[in-house]
A and B are shown apart, each in its own frame.
Chain A
C-alpha cells in the first residue's frame, strides 16, 4: 500500500538557520507533491506544489526539491524565524479526480 513518511520527531533549530524537512514515499508514482503548513487548532494551509518533472521550486524563503528516483522530497526554510514554528505536512496526488494523500507531518520549532 502507499506510504508517506515524514520525520515524526520534532525538529528544533536556532533562529536564522536553515530548516530541512524530509518526505519519503513508497508504492506511489505521484504527478505532484505538495507541502502544507498547519498551526495548532487550524486546518493545513497550502505552501508549494512541485510536479514530477520538476527538480526544484522556490518561493521566497522556501525551497522544495523532488527526486522521483529516490522517492523523496526535501523542504527547506532559509533564515528561519520563530514565526515559522508549525507542523509541516507533505501530500502526494495524481491529479484530476484522484485522492490526495498526506504524510504524518513534522513539527518544527524555531528557537529565538
Chain B
C-alpha cells in the first residue's frame, strides 16, 4: 500500500515563526499536493508539484512556499506564521495509471498558530 507520511500530527507555533511541514511518499509518484482543510470550506489547494524542483500555485498560495528537492519529499513552508493559518494541513501524492488517477493522503497536521 502507498504510504504518505506527514512529520507531525499536532503542531503549536507562535505568530511570526517560520514553520516547516514535511511530507514523504514511498511510491515514486511524480505529483504531490498540499491542501488545507477548514470547517465549511473543504479542502483548498495551496501548492502542488509535478516533478523535482517544479511547483505550481494552487488556489490559496499566499503566505506559503514549498520545496521539492527530492521526488519523495514535498515540504510546505510558512515563512511567517499568522493566526489565520491555523488549520488542518493535508499532503497527498497522486497515482496515475491505466485505471485512472487517485490521491493518497497523509493523516494530516493540525497546526495551531498562537
Contacts and interface: CB of A to CB of B under 8 A. Distances in A.
Interface of A: 6, 8, 32, 34, 36, 41-46, 49, 51, 89, 91, 93, 95-97, 99-105
Central interface residue in B43, B45, B50, by most chain A CB within 10 Å = B43
B contact patch SS? strand
Q: How large, as a class, is the contact surface on chain B?
A: 20 to 34
A104 B103 contact: no
A41 B88 CA distance: 9
B94 interface: yes
Given A32-B100, A51-B100, A101 B59 contact: yes
B105 A104 contact: no
B108 A41 contact: yes
Given A91-B103, A97-B50, A100-B103, A44 B58 contact: no
B105 A45 contact: yes
A48 B48 CA distance: 22
Nearest to B30: A97
